[in-house]
Amino acid sequence: MSDKGSKPLQAAVAEAAEAAEQSKATGPGKKRGGGRASDLFGGEMRRRDLFPLLVLHLIREKPCYGNYLIDAIETMTKGVVSVNPNTMYPLLRDLESRGMIEGDWEHPDKRTRRFYSITPVGEEEYRRVLEEIRPFLDSVIESVSLIRREVYGD
């Protein structure tokens, strides 16, 4: 390990370890896959409103239901971030209770899938969170880049 850049790497590793410990402490539950970056950054992503941002972003494009959102987030992140249904459905209920999204049953008499659409309040929240979360995402990119540069030398 070279001295050049090792302090930033150490800070990145310490930050990642702290996020992992906080995630363990909050008991995020089982992920669909194990050993992913979402296990490492999961608690911090929830605290930083990343999941609500992704949900609002996807719902802005078209009305979506819970399992579609779970799959879309996993596809968007190439499997690095997975959202547990025990996280997604309470989040959708919370966003709906706060007036950010509206849900309608696909077949109201059968209660099959509930499709969610964004509201004007949700659009406002989306724009707020979009700006607020950018520094966190930039720090994740920087941390991973420092680790990659240290380990692979590129």
Q: Using one digit for the tens of pLDDT, what is the confidence trace for 81-127?
A: 888 999 999 999 999 999 999 999 999 888 789 999 999 999 999 99
- The answer to whether 74 touches 83, Cβ cutoff 8 Å, is yes
CATH architecture of 6-152: Orthogonal Bundle (1.10)
Q: What is the pTM of this model?
A: 0.70
Determine the Cα–Cα distance for residues 49 and 126; give it in Å rounded to an integer: 10
Long-range contacts, stretch 33-36, CB < 8 angstroms, 24+ apart: 33/79, 33/82, 36/79, 36/80, 36/81, 36/82
Determine the Cα–Cα distance for residues 17 and 142; give it in Å rounded to an integer: 15
Least confident of 37-41, 54-58, 107-111: 37-41
* Average pLDDT over the chain, rounded to an integer: 80
Q: Two tokens at 126?
A: 């989306």
Least confident of 9-18, 59-68, 88-97, 110-119: 9-18
The vertex-65 CA angle with 94 and 80, nearest 5°, equals 85
